[in-house]
Structure 1
Amino acid sequence: MKHIGSIFLSCFILISFSRNLVRLPVVIPNKCDTIIDLSSEEMLPSHTIVYGVNILDSLDFRLQSRMTSKDYYSGSFLKDEKFMSDSIKVFVDTTHVNFHLGEQSVISHFPPPPPPQTDNKRDSIYFKEIYDRAILEHENRGRTHYKTYPLFVYNSSRRSTVIQRPMFNDLFFIVEALDSLKIWRPIEYWEQRTVLCGTGHRDYLLKPKHFIVSAVKRYHGDFKTKLRVRFTSFNKVFFSNEYEGWMNYSQFDTTKLKREIRKQFGKAKMEYYLKRSFLSPTY
């Protein structure tokens, strides 16, 4: 199915948040062949990708991200009090009703590595065939998009601040929704993995009045409700603006997640890792 649509290129959007007007950047999505409504019967992990750091007025997703070393912080945040700030605001921009992006996974976001070098002709042909299939699969994923909303993390202060970056994926956030009793409950979880040493990990250094740009899944289902994003950085919790959306009520079910936690970490640590999965402070 060939998708034909216009790119959203209107004026900057002004969103009221805590009595302040914040001008959100203009974002332009990649072209694609197919746009899919994401419908899930179970709670999914929140695979987060950062597409730009220190964005001021616009970001074109058709161009390769050019993050530099100035976008990262390599010092010791906990010992550097000048970067400790509660100035973070989080926005989900629902005015971009036609916004869409590719698969939300850091692993699948990048093309596969080149095949290993070998002097054996037979092995070379075999590895090249595997690599060509992987490249084709990667390109096909790139042409298939899901409906999403742009997500912005904003530094509202007059000085730079540090945003925590996970070892895996790019930001700590999940989507929450109001259930039938009007109680906020997670419909996504943070996927926990074993941490390896030597990752060269660095957090983000966000300039004053600048943005980190990501995206949030836009679900389709039979239950209409209000949603929001729970975002954390160094054990501090921030909530986005609330917005209306659809989901399947079964996305509230935590049975499968609890089973995975018990299998990976043991029953005794269930409560601790469940809190971490839902980005609740663990101190």
Structure 2
Amino acid sequence: MKKVLLPIVLFLFCACGKEKEIKLLKLVKTEYDTLVFNNPEKIARANPVMYGVNVTSDSVINLIQPWFQKEGIFSDYNHATKNDSLRIYVDNSSFFHSDLHGLSNTGVPPPPMKLNESEEEYEKRIQDYSTNVKAKITHQAMLPVYIYNESNRNQSLNKPVNGGDLFLITEAKNEKGEWKPIEYFEQFTFLCGTGHQDYLLKSKQFIVAGVKKYSGSFKTKLRLKLNSFGKVFYSNTFEGSINKKQFETTELLKEIKGKFQGSTEERLKIKLEGLFVN
């Protein structure tokens, strides 16, 4: 029997005392057969997924559907510095799930068309097959992320050319209580002719995204770090568990040395801070 998570309505987030409470939108969760948790043996590549841009607290977001381009959500570069009133909230009270990280529906492929079989006969046989044999739905555990423009004017957010929907990585506290990245950001350098534009987030509206939910034996505090036009924003702090090996950067540094010459330490720093450079 498939497991179903019911729709929920969430409310944000007076963690900082006098901050104004913000009503969050409705998230629609869908059924699944198998839920996979992220438990990597090394620092992981960040892969934030966008589900909605310029949505309001009255919107409904289906978390199984990826974000798609809509008119009027991109900004010009002359707004690039006006992004100082963003709030980021991660809801860790209940995770959702997505098939957007390479874990797709799996199952036996449909049968091929037989010799001397008409198209009508084949279509009927495919319909019978689809009714009797259903693919197994495998999803990956993720956390919902809300980026809110609390100012009275529109704001711009840096959009990667390639490598993800946002410059967003996860950090965790190590055994010494220090904040360290447990993800890195892979990003191609800017290429001429891509038609690249950045996100335009309207006043009092949200970007809804998702990030990987990790599991492991080390319980600690986590937060998200957003980099936009060189300005850094942090989310609320939330409880979680990870693998301690996610703090290690030795293998990533070796990988960088294998690809590039020059200041590999600087390239490592760039990847760990989620900056707009490869």
TM-score, normalised via structure 1 length: 0.78
Q: CA RMSD in A?
A: 2.5
Counterparts in 2 of 1:91-170, with a 5 A limit? 91-95=89-93, 97-104=94-101, 143-168=137-162, 169-170=164-165
> SS in structure 2 opposite 1:273?
helix
Q: How does 1:211-230 map to 2 (within 5 A)?
A: 211-230=206-225
Preserved contact between residue 52 and residue 67 of structure 1 (Cα < 8 Å)? no
CA distance in 1, matches of 2:65, 2:142: 18
Query: Structure 1 counterpart of 2:208, which letter?
Result: V
Secondary structure of 2:245's aligned partner: helix
What stretches of structure 1 of length at least 5 have no aligned partner? 110-138
Tell me the CA shift for residue 6 of structure 1: 3.2
Alpha-carbon distance in structure 2 between the residues aligned to 1:54 and 1:193:
26
Partner of 2:11: 13
Contact 1:186 1:278 in 2 (8 A): yes
1:27 CA drift (Å): 1.4
Judged with a 3 Å threshold, the aligned counterparts in structure 2 of structure 1 residues 175 and 62 are, in CA distance, closer, same or farther, namely closer
Q: In the TM superposition, what are the counterparts of 1:181-260 in structure 2 within 5 Å? A: 181-260=176-255
Which ranges in structure 2 are unaligned for 5 or more consecutive residues?
105-133
Which residue is equivalent to 2:71? Answer: 69
What SS is found at the alignment partner of 1:278? helix
C-alpha distance in 2, partners of 1:265/1:193? Answer: 13
> What residue identity is the alignment partner of 1:15?
F
Q: CA separation in 2, counterparts of 1:263 and 1:62?
A: 37
1:263–1:173 Cα change, 3 Å: same
- The count of aligned residue pairs is 243
How far, CA to CA, are the matches of 2:160 and 2:64 in structure 1? 25
Question: Does the CA contact (< 8 Å) of 1:275 and 1:282 recur in 2?
Answer: no
Greater share of residues in helix? 1
1:279 paired residue number = 273
Deviations 1:141-189 (A, max 9, x none): 9x31111110111111011000110001210011000000000001000
Report the residue type matching 1:61 in the other structure: L
Q: Shift of the alpha carbon at 1:103?
A: 3.4
What corresponds to 2:53 in structure 1? Answer: 53
Of the structure 1 ranges 230-239 and 194-203, higher mean CA displacement relative to structure 2 is found in 194-203
CA contact (8 A) 1:228 1:240 kept: yes
Is the 8 Å Cα contact of residues 3 and 35 (structure 1) preserved in structure 2?
Answer: no
Cα pair 1:223 1:249 within 8 Å, conserved: yes
Shift of 1:265: 2.1
Structure-2 residue corresponding to 1:124: none
Deviation at 1:26, TM superposition (A): 1.8
CA contact (8 A) 2:184 2:274 kept: no
> How far, CA to CA, are the matches of 1:68 and 1:228 in structure 2?
29
Q: Which moved more, 1:211-220 or 1:54-63?
A: 54-63
Question: Taking structure 1 as reference, are residues 264 and 255 closer, same or farther at Cα in structure 2, changes over 3 Å only?
Answer: same
Instruction: Assess if the C-alpha contact under 8 Å between 1:88 and 1:155 holds in 2.
Output: yes
